[in-house]
Amino acid sequence: MTIEAEKQAAAEAALAYIPENGVIGVGTGSTVNYFIDALARIKHQIEGAVSSSEASTKRLKSHGIPVYDFNGIGQLPIYVDGADQINSIKQLIKGGGGALTREKVLAYNAEKFICIADKSKTQGLFGSFPLPIEVIPMARSSVARQLVTLGGNPVYRESFTTDNGNIILDLHNLTIEHPIKLEQTINNIPGVVCNGLFAQRNADVILLGNP
């Protein structure tokens, strides 16, 4: 089974969790793209979606799925998204596609957070995928200096601006001993908008594509 087939299988499996008539949360990335394409087949079952990125919004709309402003929506019954790394207690590293802040907002406001991924996302030491951190542009250097004191090596993601107009620092070589504490510590650095550790709000269900 190829990685693409694993992603697609995980995405298809998420359809079983879609409630009738609700507005569902949709994440971002290549695995989610398979999910959006699958969702199109049952679009009449849902009222519509809220989306974590301009890219997913565009894809949802191209299938004729209504996309709502999240400000007008309350609690989501489910949120479906991918991940860059997954540990044994369903905590995630996300943000490889740079959409981490909107993703975290939707995950926090969902009754059920369903993570869809290929098997490779469960491999390697948690933290071996560089941790994405969204930062306001004027604080890039000061935040980077603070991140160095945490033992990591921040790398500026070149030629990339988030949907919120900010930059991303990818934190390499990080040892993550206490994910929840580290998530809070990084969020407390002035200038940080959000970091890609989904530890306080971890996933409820992991759907992994495998043979």
- For residue 63, the Cα-to-chain-centroid distance in whole angstroms is 22
CB of 78 to ligand 5RP, least distance (A): 15
Maximum Cα–Cα distance for the chain, whole Å? 51
Place of tokens 């969204």: 134
Nearer CB in complex with ligand 5RP: 97/154? 97
Shortest Cβ 45–ligand 5RP spacing (Å): 23
Is 103 part of the annotated catalytic residue set? yes
- 47 vs 70, which CB is nearer to ligand 5RP? 70
In the sheet that 110-118 helps form, which strands lie side by side, from edge to edge?
A: 48-51, 23-26, 76-81, 110-118, 205-209
What is the contact mask toward ligand 5RP in residues 64 to 103, using x (rule: CB under 6 A)? -----------------xxxx---------xxxxxxx--x
- Give Cα separations from 73 to 11, 50, 53 (angstroms): 24, 8, 16
- Residue 193 binds ligand 5RP (CB under 6 A): no
All residues at 6 or more sequence positions from 4 whose CB lies less than 8 Å from its CB, including other chains: none
Per CB under 6 A, does 152 bind ligand 5RP?
A: no
- The residues annotated as belonging to the active site are 103
The residues of the shown chain that bind ligand 5RP, judged by CB under 6 A, are 27-31, 81-84, 94-100, 103
